[in-house]
Amino acid sequence: MDRFIDGIELIAAIFIGIVASLVFVTVMLRNLFSIDVPDGYELGQMLLGILIFWGIAATSYRGTHITVDLIWANVDKNWQRIIDIFATLVLLFVVAVQTYTLFDKVSTTYAANVLTFGLRVPHWPFFLLAWLGDAAAVLLIAIRTYRLVFHPDLIAPPPDAIKAVE
């Protein structure tokens, strides 16, 4: 399972590299040669959307997303576990609903044959990649929930939490 999780994190990292490369090439071509990458802005937006959804998958399992620990830090371990389970269940519900609605966006975009302006690249494959990242997030959050409930020892605390305890 950890290889699967690492694979999802690798996919998110690859999309970070693709988005960063596109931005770099676009800026260099524009500033040095006064050339625009055709559909660069639109493709960049869609790639950034893909990156965000795969990033949600990567951070949701590890618990490295933004959290507010005001109450959690001031209760004993049993209450911390209860809070973690509740928060993860809420996150699972929200991301599952988001995944459902995003699939609707993929199918309607495919049916409408929406294309980029310049190169006429279809939008739906980008939306599908984003949806796959969101579906991976649902799967990883479900795994995290299962592990929190039945095997809390398998959930590694985030690096910042380790430093705070020491």
Q: What is the mean pLDDT of the chain?
A: 87
Q: Is the pLDDT score of 166 beyond 60?
A: no
Tell the residue number behind the tokens 């705070």, with chain if given. 164
Question: Taking residues 85-105, what's their average pLDDT?
Answer: 94
What was the pLDDT predicted at 165? 47
Rounded CA separation 140/5 (Å): 8
> What is the four-CA torsion angle of 127, 63, 11, 137, rounded to 10 degrees?
-40
Query: For the segment 43-78, what is each residue's pLDDT rounded down to a tens digit?
Result: 989 999 999 998 888 888 776 666 667 888 889 988
Q: Which amino acid is at 96?
A: A
Domain spans of the chain? 2-165
**pLDDT > 70: what percent of the chain?**
90
Q: Is the pLDDT score of 101 beyond 80?
A: yes
Query: For the segment 108-145, what is each residue's pLDDT rounded down to a tens digit?
Result: 999 999 999 989 999 999 999 999 999 999 999 999 89
Question: Taking residues 77-81, what's their average pLDDT?
Answer: 88
pTM of the model: 0.82
Question: Taking residues 83-98, what's their average pLDDT?
Answer: 93
